[in-house]
Amino acid sequence: MTRIVAALILAGCTGGGGDTAEERDYGRTQTTDLGSWTVTIAPDPDPVPPVDLFALDVTIPGAEGLFVDVDADMPSHNHGMNTEPVVTEVGGGAFRVDGMQFHMTGDWRVTVAIDDGNTYERAFLWIDCCEPIQ
Amino acid sequence: MGCGSSGFSEEQLDILAAMTPVPAVPADSTNAVADDPNAAVLGRKLFFSTALSGDGQFSCASCHDPAQDFTDGLQLSEAAGQTGRHAPTVINAAYSRWQFWDGRCDSQWCQALGPIESPVEMAGTRLGVARAVYTDATLRAEYEALFGALTDFTDSRFPERARPAEDPTDPDALAWAQLSAADQADVNGVFANVGKAIAAYERLLVTGEGPLDAYIQGLLAEDESYRDALSPEAELGLELFVGKGLCHFCHSGPMLSNGEFHNVALGPRDWLPEGDNGRFDGIRAVRETPFNALGAFSDDTEGEAAQRLTFLALNIDAEGQFKTPGLRRVANTAPYMHGGHLDDLASVVEFYNLQEEEPEFGHLDETLAPLELSEEEAAALVVFMEEALDAELVDPSVATAP
């Protein structure tokens, strides 16, 4: 089920800025595509370690109890992550995402999907990954 | 844009800095004896023992021959039968998170068990392995010192051979089904321990530093003599490796591998079996094997390896993907690619330069495109791999039969 949702949230999306690094917004806070939510992400650890697993703390004020899913892909490479992250609601609009992994260097697009029962919205946040693999 | 007099950009210098020094072998918390010298002594004997095979003819070293850099030099390996893949080297395998070309094991000890029971490799069985260890006084003494007393596997309730198999009519599978659950668990435990001892030995088969390290370390230290470490042609090859060649996208870090899986669009060959879906099938297999990091025989079901397996996704991107091999000593391990598709390094560079093949499964990794290298540039990349990536084993004395 999670993968189906993940496929949906990544399928055909073009959000989060342009096709080149110069056009992309790397800000850690973005508004969803329909404007209802403000999403802030914080990798743990930060900066993201290349290839290793990391977590993502996601804050969405007002999203308590709502369906939230998170995935990431590299649009320029036409692939997603090799992992299936798990989202856990922490409370107060905060969510912990375990099992993230960026296995290549380059621009990754994190997609945060929020479904409040009426609308399904997505926020796109770019992360320039990473320091070279050690 | 160059940086200083070296010709490398700041970004390229970061990429180069990540290639050296060679770090210590990563810990394997799933194997409690991974770094036990006595386990390595036992594992070395087991690695070269033909008694683990079904007919007493083959050992791990049959396809991972020390004289050929722990490969066999063949397109497809030949032992009890012919495999469907080329034998990768064991050297530096300890640095890899996933084992086999498709990553169907998440540790070296899990990997060591597969060929023993493969009908086309050693054609042995786990019960046969347990009997072989029990009946050899030296192996038994060393095993029991590490893992505790062995059951008498020559007892009449045990057949000579038994293993689980997909085909329930397989004689070995029928014999396995006749064993009690307690005996099956006992045999599985011994089998896993044999794998752990072999892995402890294989962790010694690692390279030290070579010309690449001397060059990069000198460059970063602004030691003007750094250029002496490489010939001008190899230096050009390195510039291409982290530049126009884009090799570093996947061949990064100290082993010159990201340790992950990619579909580089290798087409079929007449010597290869059809239907090799690579990582897609490997993900299913590593989830299912009882010898994975989350299984009953793992010594750490909550550590990094277990976490990687917990979150591992099965998706269509994995179709037709194979593991990025490390490149240290790569000139010694022809032929290349998972099916021995390419005879030599020049052919490998030509393959990436032209990118003319269509993948049997899945889609080409989008990072790949024709490189438009000149003949001189292609030749320089080959010289770079031959010259700069050479490195001696840290302990060459262990690269022989005991």
Provide the domain count of chain A.
Answer: 1
Q: In this predicted structure, what is the pLDDT of residue B3? A: 44
Residues with Cβ within 8 Å of residue A40, at least 6 apart in sequence: A28, A29, A58, A59, A60
Does residue A134 surpass a pLDDT of 80? no
Mean pLDDT of B6-33: 95
Which CATH number, 1.10.1040.10, 1.10.760.10, 1.10.10.10, 3.10.450.50, labels domain B37-202? Answer: 1.10.760.10
The answer to whether the beta carbons of residues B109 and B298 sit under 8 Å apart is no
- A118 within a domain of the structure (yes/no): yes
Q: Which residue of A has its CA nearest to B254?
A: A134
Q: In this predicted structure, what is the pLDDT of residue A25? A: 87
Confidence category of residue A133, pLDDT binned at 50, 70, 90 = low
Considering CB atoms only, which of A86, A101, A132 is closest to B17? Answer: A132
Flag if B365 and A134 touch (Cβ within 8 Å): no
Flag if B317 and A80 touch (Cβ within 8 Å): yes
Flag if A79 and B310 touch (Cβ within 8 Å): no
**Locus of tokens 């002594």:** B41
Q: In this predicted structure, what is the pLDDT of residue A21? A: 63
Mean pLDDT of B21-50: 98
Task: Give per-residue pLDDT as tens, A86-131.
Answer: 999 999 999 999 999 998 888 999 999 999 999 999 999 999 987 6
Flag if B312 and A79 touch (Cβ within 8 Å): no
Mean pLDDT of B173-189: 98
- A25 within a domain of the structure (yes/no): yes
Ordered by start, the domain boundaries in chain B are 10-22+208-278+319-398, 37-202
Residue B318: list chain A partners with CB under 8 A. 82
Q: In this predicted structure, what is the pLDDT of residue A22? A: 64
How far apart are alpha carbons B137 and B177 in whole angstroms?
29
The answer to whether the beta carbons of residues A53 and B308 sit under 8 Å apart is yes
Interface of B with A (CB under 8 A): 14-15, 17-18, 23, 249-250, 252-254, 258-261, 304, 307-308, 310-315, 317-318, 363, 365-367
Does residue A12 surpass a pLDDT of 60? no
Residue A50: list chain B partners with CB under 8 A. 258
Flag if B311 and A84 touch (Cβ within 8 Å): yes
Does residue A11 surpass a pLDDT of 90? no
Mean pLDDT of A44-64: 94
Mean pLDDT of A10-36: 74
Strand order in the sheet with A38-44: A29-31, A38-44, A53-59, A94-101, A86-91
Cβ atoms within 10 A of the Cβ of B247, count? 22
Does residue B379 surpass a pLDDT of 90? yes
Residue A72: list chain B partners with CB under 8 A. none
Q: Which residue of A has its CA nearest to B95?
A: A134
How far apart are alpha carbons A100 and A93 in whole angstroms?
20
- A124 within a domain of the structure (yes/no): yes
Range of the domain at A74: 2-129
Considering CB atoms only, which of B253, B304, B310 is closest to A133? Answer: B253
Can the peptide bond before residue B119 be classed as cis, meaning omega within 30 degrees of 0? no
- A92 within a domain of the structure (yes/no): yes
Flag if A133 and B258 touch (Cβ within 8 Å): yes
Considering CB atoms only, which of B258, B312, B314 is closest to A104? Answer: B258
Decide whether B10-22+208-278+319-398 matches B37-202 in CATH topology: yes
**A84 CA to centre of own chain:** 12
Flag if B18 and A133 touch (Cβ within 8 Å): yes
% of chain B residues with pLDDT over 90: 93
Task: Give per-residue pLDDT as tens, B349-376.
Answer: 999 999 999 888 888 887 888 999 999 9
Crossing angle (nearest 10°) for helices B126-135 and B137-147: 100
Minimal CA separation from B102 to chain A, in Å: 13
Residue B254: list chain A partners with CB under 8 A. 134
Mean pLDDT in chain B? Answer: 96
CATH number reported for the structural domain that contains residue A105 in this entry = 2.60.40.10
% of chain B residues with pLDDT over 70: 99
In the DSSP assignment, the letter for residue B10 is: H
Question: Which of A19-23, A60-64, B124-128, B249-253 has the weakest average pLDDT?
Answer: A19-23
Q: Which residue of A has its CA nearest to B365?
A: A77
Question: Which of A45-49, B101-105, B172-176, B333-337 has the weakest average pLDDT?
Answer: A45-49
Does residue A4 surpass a pLDDT of 50? no
Mean pLDDT in chain A? Answer: 86
Does residue B2 surpass a pLDDT of 70? no
In CATH terms, is domain B10-22+208-278+319-398 a member of 3.40.50.720? Answer: no
Residue B258: list chain A partners with CB under 8 A. 50-51, 103-104, 133
Amino acid B326 reads G
- A21 within a domain of the structure (yes/no): yes
In the DSSP assignment, the letter for residue B397 is: G
Does residue A3 surpass a pLDDT of 70? no
- A134 within a domain of the structure (yes/no): no
Confidence category of residue B1, pLDDT binned at 50, 70, 90 = very low
Question: Which of B142-156, B227-241, B360-374 has the weakest average pLDDT?
Answer: B360-374
Does residue B274 surpass a pLDDT of 70? yes
Give the SS3 label for residue B327. coil
In the DSSP assignment, the letter for residue B366 is: T
Q: In this predicted structure, what is the pLDDT of residue A131? A: 67
Q: Name the residue with higher pLDDT: A3 or B77.
A: B77
Flag if A132 and B18 touch (Cβ within 8 Å): yes
% of chain A residues with pLDDT over 90: 65
How far apart are alpha carbons B130 and B270 in whole angstroms?
39
Does residue A17 surpass a pLDDT of 90? no
Residue A85: list chain B partners with CB under 8 A. 311
Flag if A99 and B315 touch (Cβ within 8 Å): no
Mean pLDDT of B226-237: 96
Does residue A18 surpass a pLDDT of 60? no
Mean pLDDT of A50-78: 94
Task: Give per-residue pLDDT as tens, B37-67.
Answer: 999 999 999 999 999 999 999 999 999 999 9
Residue B365: list chain A partners with CB under 8 A. 77-79
Q: In this predicted structure, what is the pLDDT of residue B276? A: 93
Residue A83: list chain B partners with CB under 8 A. 308, 311-313
Amino acid A44 reads D
Flag if A85 and B260 touch (Cβ within 8 Å): no
Flag if A84 and B252 touch (Cβ within 8 Å): no
Question: Which of A46-50, A123-127, B230-234 has the weakest average pLDDT?
Answer: A46-50
- A26 within a domain of the structure (yes/no): yes
Residue B304: list chain A partners with CB under 8 A. 52-53
Flag if A132 and B312 touch (Cβ within 8 Å): no
Considering CB atoms only, which of B313, B318, B366 is closest to A77? Answer: B366
Does residue A16 surpass a pLDDT of 90? no
Confidence category of residue A10, pLDDT binned at 50, 70, 90 = low
